[in-house]
Amino acid sequence: MTAPHLPGYLAEHPLPTGITGALGLSGYQLLADVGGVGAGRLGPQAFLLVAPDPDPSLPDAGTQIALHHSRLRSEQEASTYVALAAQLGYLRMSGYRLAMERHGLRSKIRLVNPATGAIAAEVPDKHPGGGLLGRGGGGAAALLATARSLPPAGPPPDTSNPELMRGVLLALALSDDSVGGAEAAELADRALPLTTGDGALEPRAALEAAKSGG
């Protein structure tokens, strides 16, 4: 398994200034950044950020924006974006591909299972209008439920690669919408030593042990 987008990638490769200026998102806050997938926010607006999979046959497309929602109604909606970004990042690190399709300034995301070539889920470029979050197809809450129901595409990550393993742990911690960003980073740091050695735990078990002080 490779890790083309290590933690912190989106902070170093933000949305192009032309897109942020045109959409009024200059100075946005990065709420999550794992596996080349993140959640951004500026005031009542929230969105997903994705660095496309590298393709040597194409020029670098740069970080793209998807599921742009201009009117958050609650802080819970913002946390759902963080959880969705983390789950997509985790699935990517397990082997899924994120295929991007431009729609004007924004992009659709297709979550592709490389084993079958099937599209497991599709994230629209904009959040569906009307109703509360999760009503109607394509909403962040509905997409999060779909993403959480998908099995990993490949075997557990290489435990000998601490950067990759920490990214996986951070993604799993952030995908719990009851865990904040700072707490997720602390949990990942505490869980990382539990994933190596004779008594190594798989990532989810290591996080649970870290939560309980193990």
Buried residues in 42-59 as b, exposed as e (16+ CB within 10 A): beebbbbbbbbbeeeeee
| Alpha helix stretches (DSSP H) within the chain | 9-12, 17-23, 75-94, 140-149, 162-174, 181-191, 203-211
pTM for the whole thing? 0.86
173 closest CA partner among 83, 79, 49: 83
**39 DSSP β-pair partners:** 32, 48
Tell me how far apart the 2 most distant CA atoms of the chain are, in Å.
Answer: 53
What number of CA atoms fall less than 13 Å from residue 108's CA on the CB side?
A: 11
Question: Looking up tokens 């490389």, which residue turns up?
Answer: 114
Residues 6 or more apart whose Cβ sits within 8 Å of residue 142: 134, 136
- Hey, what are 132's tokens? 């509360």
List, in order, residues 6 or more apart from 13 with CB less than 8 Å away: 51, 62, 63
Cβ contact 117:58 at 8 Å: no
Residue by residue, pLDDT tens for the chain (214 residues) are 445 687 789 999 999 999 999 999 999 999 999 999 999 999 999 999 999 987 777 777 799 999 999 999 888 889 999 999 999 999 998 889 999 999 999 999 999 998 889 999 999 999 986 443 334 456 899 999 999 999 878 776 677 788 888 888 999 998 887 777 788 889 999 999 998 887 889 888 999 999 887 6
Taking the C-alpha atoms of residue 182 and residue 169, their distance in angstroms, rounded to an integer, is: 13
Rounded Cα gap, residues 187 and 183, in angstroms: 6
pLDDT on residue 86? 93
